[in-house]
Amino acid sequence: MANPFQEQLLKAGLVSKQKVQKAKTQKRRDRKAKVDDGSAALKAEIAEQKRLQAEKDKALNTERFNQAAEKGLVRGLVTEFKRLAITLPQTAEIKFNYTLNNKIFAVYVDEKLQGQLLNGQLGIVRHEDSSYLVPHKLAERVKLLVPDWCGYLWEQTDENNTVEEDDPYADYVIPDDLMW
């Protein structure tokens, strides 16, 4: 024990080991409770920045949509992706899930279409409660003009997959096409 007063009390039999331990624990808890690391102010500041960024993004998207609507681009875009949409096979058994506006949607595809979606040859556009499989370039244009309609668009990431020398799982490949 670091406190000689506590040792003397223990030797005299006035306190038990459990009471000493309880006192240490309570002292530590009290000390931690009094420490203000400023995390509440930092969290509030970060939340405010996120809220401002979300408002800014929403205003920018609305402005971009209005400009495109004025030019008639949105109307032309709708007719274009309806015309170029790939029809979904009736006997498809593979469920392909995607998220849009924090909701999960599913499209049933066959193996060929699933491979094209995962390789970035196709994208999914959702408009008026319907999902359309469209070519990747068209899905990119939809995402630029109306990002709320672009359900799934495979994008290349520039992450360097470096393997550490002492990594015990280096021989195991992690698949990037897991279905959920």
pLDDT of residue 179: 62
Q: What local confidence, expressed as pLDDT, does residue 79 receive?
A: 82
Opening angle at CA 116, ends 113 and 121, nearest 5: 135
**Contact assessment for residue 126 and residue 105, using Cβ atoms and an 8 Å cutoff:** yes
Q: Which residues contact 73 (CB under 8 A, 6 or more apart)?
A: 145
Q: Could you tell me which residue, 44 or 172, shows the higher pLDDT?
A: 44
* pLDDT tens-digit map of 9-66: 888 888 888 888 898 898 888 887 766 666 778 888 899 999 999 999 989 888 887 7
Q: SS3 of 147, please?
A: coil
Highest mean pLDDT among 46-50, 60-64, 67-71, 166-170: 46-50
Q: Whole-model pTM above 0.85? A: no
Residue partners of 120: CB distance under 8 A and separation at least 6: 136, 154, 155, 156
pLDDT tens-place string over residues 117-133: 888 888 888 888 888 88
pLDDT grade for 8, boundaries at 50, 70 and 90: confident
Is the confidence at residue 1, as pLDDT, over 50? no
First to last CA, the chain: 55
**Contact in structure between 153 and 137 (CB atoms under 8 Å):** no
